[in-house]
Chains A and B, each alone.
Chain A
Amino acid sequence: MRTFITFVTLLLKTWFRSKTSLFFGLALPITLLLVFGTIFGGPSPPSYSLYVRNLDLDGSGGPAPLSKAFIDALNSSVFEVKLLPPDAPPQQSTGFTAVRILTIPQGFTGSLLNASIRTRIDITADTILRFVEMAGENISSEVRANISRGIEGMEDFKQSLVVGNTTLILEGSPDDRILQAIEGILNVIASKFELGLLNASAVLQVKTQFHQIRQLRAVDYYMPGYIAAFIMTNGLLGVSQQFSEYRRRGVIKLLASTPVSKSFWIASIVAVQTIASLVLTSVMILAGWLVFRIAVYPDVFSLAVILLGTLAFTGFGVLIGGVLKEAEAVAALGNTLSFPMMFLSGAFWPLELMPGYLQAAARYMPLYYFHVALRETLVSGSPATAIIPALVVAITAVVATISAVAATKWKDF
């Protein structure tokens, strides 16, 4: 036991003194969490940018009253309105923010006022007719005739009101996935604006109630993904290269010439990697909580998943470092395995964003099951849904560890 503790202590020292280990094991994952969390997953609501080109101008060139009121209504909604001069050229997309332009037609104010008065006339006439019908025989035929003439007069006045173009044009790219949602939001704002002109209010309403099911934010998704991905790189790249380096320097030969067994040596490496993984997880949780208020559930289940993932990827690292003789080949294979997994397993972004064939490919990667199991336990607090991915990680860990012990040469190098 004393030997084991000494080995683990010394190997931990080498880990914490290695700039590469500290960079890949702590600095890079925290940086990625802070950067991508801030860009894509911060606590503020998403903003919808919308350019508005107002062609409805008064005699002095300023916005006519109703178009101005409509723009104010847009501004007080989810939209981040940017006004475009009537003759401004089309805006270019930066590739990250979609360009959407809403054009308010010329004569919008007059047409909308006339249309609103026409609607009021229709409602008034319809209301009077309903009262007359309800009154039935209680209204004399003479009064009925007067009412009928009055309604005809209102109808004549209505016909005299000219309604021009009231259609708002929304321009956007077919690649803009939320353009339809934006059209829907604009329709709701326009309807409320019309009701406001009629001095009416909507009867049908939607009220938001927050339920107890936790909705993950992007940053909640990133954190367990980064933890899993960097536990993987620590194993596949860090351990394999350390093992290869120790062999090249003769350290493995020196140890193999002592009574220490290879299983003992591998167990020491696994213990060190486990401690490094727990340090990484703790620091990520702390950074996530401090900056993004990510609430996680570090419990025995998430701890078990971390241990299994560490065991699996440390096993693969020892296997690579133990089997391949050339340091360059070790680095090449480690990179070849870890980088595609990092980017294609869904650790960094949801699988749903990727094409179907890549989603299918991800399910053959151990890292996929590791980050899913970790997310379910650590962030969602749902160990039941983590059972199957955790089982896959456990099987991988057993296979990797057995292969590592079997393939590591402690003799006949």
Chain B
Amino acid sequence: MRSEAIIVSDLVKKYGELTAVDHISFNVFEGDVFSLLGPNGAGKTTTVEILECLRTPTSGDAWIKGLSVRDPKDVRKIKKIIGVLPQEFYAVDNLTVLENVVLAAAAKNSDNVRGVLERLGLWEFRGRRFSTLSGGLKRRVGLAMALVGEPEIVFLDEPTTGLDPEARRETWHLIRELRRSGVTVVLTTHYMEEAERLSDHVAIIVNGRIAAEGEVKNLISRYGGRTTLVFDDIDEEARQHLVDRGFNVEALSGGRSVVRVEGEHEVFEVISYLRSLGYEGYPLIRRGGLEDVFLSVIGSKLSEGGDLI
């Protein structure tokens, strides 16, 4: 049985009248990638910064490997076993890649700089000034600074925000590598796809509260709703046949139709039924995902910029 790397219990953080984190509780298991998914201002960063010992909770507590973030004696021990990539992190411009990572290594009293740089594919760029790197390489340097010192738990606060798709995929690859090496990763993100592709567990957080939490596949099966089949070329008559057979059918603009089904077996049932009626076209099949979970739980979608829409 896996043990908990992080236990969060009834955590509250208030700034005057504003409650940024509102009685949050969750557990993160060792070796898991745990994502806090939510819109901007939901309380994701505040929550992880409490776990990083960078903020003091108003009430409640959290334990990192059994060490309390509220206990000053434990905090120093926690800081030795965690790695942090802050939100919108940019290393020192006029230091080289190597020097920036050496800075972080010195702070953690570690000397595995070369190992981390090689692992992240940065060794060949070690002599380049940070200011001259591409966005993806810059984020990789941030990851290297978080990973130096061989932390047991890594906190990555919106690690792919602002990156182009290629750099984002590179970062995802690195996070998967981390997971494979047994490091526990706590990730905050407002990208559904990112949380869905990388996470074992997800907590959807809105207005400082956890709206839904669990394993990704369980969340999708519980809230993600149905698989959707989008047809471009079926007419009103075919739609009516499907409705008559008890399928959920919706007509969209431009002549398209959407059929929502419960599972894979119904996908084949719909297609074979339409074939029997003489319709040859193939639908676009979209399985339910975190986006549907989010829509189902929160009633809104998330924009690319992380705002509720």
A13 contacts B99, CB within 8 Å?
yes
Q: Contact string, A225-261, partner B, CB cutoff 8 A, digits 1/0?
A: 0000000000000000000001001110111111110
Which B residues lie within 8 Å of A259 (CB)? Answer: 76, 79-80, 107-109
Q: Range of interface residues on chain B?
A: 20 to 34
Which B residues lie within 8 Å of A253 (CB)? Answer: 49, 54, 84, 86, 89
A250 contacts B79, CB within 8 Å?
no
Interface residues of B in 13-57 (CB under 8 A from A): 49, 52-56
Given A249-B89, A257-B84: A10 and B79 interface contact (C-beta under 8 Å): no
Q: Which residue of B lies closest to A260 (CB)?
A: B107
A10 contacts B91, CB within 8 Å?
no
Q: Specify the main secondary structure of chain A where it touches its partner.
A: helix
Which B residues lie within 8 Å of A13 (CB)? Answer: 94-95, 99
- Roughly how many angstroms separate A40 CA and B223 CA in the complex, as a whole number? 82
Q: Which residue of A lies closest to B129 (CB)?
A: A17
Which A residues lie within 8 Å of B53 (CB)? Answer: 257, 411
Interface status of A412 (Cβ within 8 A of chain B): yes
Given A13-B95, A250-B90: A7 and B106 interface contact (C-beta under 8 Å): yes
Q: Which of A14, A251, A257 contacts B82 (CB 8 A)?
A: A257
B84 contacts A251, CB within 8 Å?
no
A412 contacts B95, CB within 8 Å?
no
A249 contacts B91, CB within 8 Å?
yes
B92 contacts A246, CB within 8 Å?
yes
Q: Contact string, A7-37, partner B, CB cutoff 8 A, digits 1/0?
A: 1001001100110000000000000000000
Which B residues lie within 8 Å of A246 (CB)? Answer: 92
Interface status of A6 (Cβ within 8 A of chain B): yes
Given A10-B99, A13-B95: A254 and B106 interface contact (C-beta under 8 Å): no
B87 contacts A250, CB within 8 Å?
yes
B95 contacts A10, CB within 8 Å?
yes
Interface status of A60 (Cβ within 8 A of chain B): no
- Roughly how many angstroms separate A11 CA and B142 CA in the complex, as a whole number? 18
B104 contacts A18, CB within 8 Å?
no
Interface status of A2 (Cβ within 8 A of chain B): yes
Given A6-B102, A257-B79: A14 and B84 interface contact (C-beta under 8 Å): no
Interface status of A357 (Cβ within 8 A of chain B): no
- Roughly how many angstroms separate A13 CA and B129 CA in the complex, as a whole number? 12
Interface status of B145 (Cβ within 8 A of chain A): yes
Interface status of B88 (Cβ within 8 A of chain A): yes
B107 contacts A14, CB within 8 Å?
no
- Roughly how many angstroms separate A246 CA and B155 CA in the complex, as a whole number? 19
- Roughly how many angstroms separate A250 CA and B146 CA in the complex, as a whole number? 12
Interface-centre pick from A2, A3, A13, A254 (highest chain B CB count, 10 A): A254
Which A residues lie within 8 Å of B88 (CB)? Answer: 249-250
Which A residues lie within 8 Å of B76 (CB)? Answer: 259
Q: How far does the Cβ of A201 sit from chain B's closest Cβ, in whole Å?
A: 72
Which A residues lie within 8 Å of B108 (CB)? Answer: 258-259
Interface status of A413 (Cβ within 8 A of chain B): yes
Which B residues lie within 8 Å of A413 (CB)? Answer: 54-55
- Roughly how many angstroms separate A2 CA and B54 CA in the complex, as a whole number? 25
B52 contacts A257, CB within 8 Å?
yes
A14 contacts B89, CB within 8 Å?
no
Interface-centre pick from B55, B102, B107, B142 (highest chain A CB count, 10 A): B107
How many pairs of A and B residues are in contact by the CB < 8 Å rule? 86
Q: Which of B54, B79, B90 contacts A249 (CB 8 A)?
A: B90
Interface status of B103 (Cβ within 8 A of chain A): yes
Interface-centre pick from B52, B55, B99, B106 (highest chain A CB count, 10 A): B106
A14 contacts B55, CB within 8 Å?
no
- Roughly how many angstroms separate A115 CA and B87 CA in the complex, as a whole number? 96
Which B residues lie within 8 Å of A249 (CB)? Answer: 88-92
B55 contacts A411, CB within 8 Å?
yes
Interface residues of A in 272-324 (CB under 8 A from B): none
Q: How far does the Cβ of B17 sit from chain A's closest Cβ, in whole Å?
A: 17
A7 contacts B56, CB within 8 Å?
no
Q: How far does the Cβ of B60 sit from chain A's closest Cβ, in whole Å?
A: 16
Q: Which residue of A lies closest to B56 (CB)?
A: A412
Q: Which of A14, A256, A411 contacts B56 (CB 8 A)?
A: A411
Q: Contact string, B138-172, partner A, CB cutoff 8 A, digits 1/0?
A: 00001001100100000100000000000000000
Q: Which of B55, B56, B109, B146 contacts A254 (CB 8 A)?
A: B146
Q: How far does the Cβ of B117 sit from chain A's closest Cβ, in whole Å?
A: 16
A258 contacts B92, CB within 8 Å?
no
Q: Which of B84, B95, B107 contacts A3 (CB 8 A)?
A: B107
A10 contacts B102, CB within 8 Å?
yes
Q: How far does the Cβ of A82 sit from chain B's closest Cβ, in whole Å?
A: 54
Which B residues lie within 8 Å of A6 (CB)? Answer: 102-103, 106
Which B residues lie within 8 Å of A254 (CB)? Answer: 84-86, 89, 104, 107, 145-146
Interface residues of B in 185-241 (CB under 8 A from A): none
- Roughly how many angstroms separate A17 CA and B92 CA in the complex, as a whole number? 11
- Roughly how many angstroms separate A3 CA and B106 CA in the complex, as a whole number? 5
- Roughly how many angstroms separate A2 CA and B103 CA in the complex, as a whole number? 11
Q: Contact string, B287-307, partner A, CB cutoff 8 A, digits 1/0?
A: 000000000000000000000
- Roughly how many angstroms separate A250 CA and B85 CA in the complex, as a whole number? 8
Which A residues lie within 8 Å of B55 (CB)? Answer: 411-413
- Roughly how many angstroms separate A84 CA and B13 CA in the complex, as a whole number? 85
Q: How far does the Cβ of B167 sit from chain A's closest Cβ, in whole Å?
A: 18
User: B residues touching A (Cβ–Cβ < 8 Å)?
Assistant: 49, 52-56, 76, 79-80, 82, 84-92, 94-95, 99, 102-104, 106-109, 142, 145-146, 149, 155
5 nearest CB pairs, A to B: A250-B86, A250-B89, A6-B106, A257-B84, A258-B107
17 further contact pairs, Cβ within 8 A, besides A2-B106, A254-B145, A257-B54: A7-B106, A10-B95, A10-B99, A10-B106, A14-B95, A246-B92, A249-B89, A249-B92, A250-B89, A250-B142, A253-B84, A253-B86, A254-B84, A254-B85, A254-B107, A258-B79, A413-B54
Q: List 7 A-B contacts (CB under 8 A).
A: A10-B103, A251-B91, A254-B84, A254-B104, A257-B53, A258-B149, A413-B55
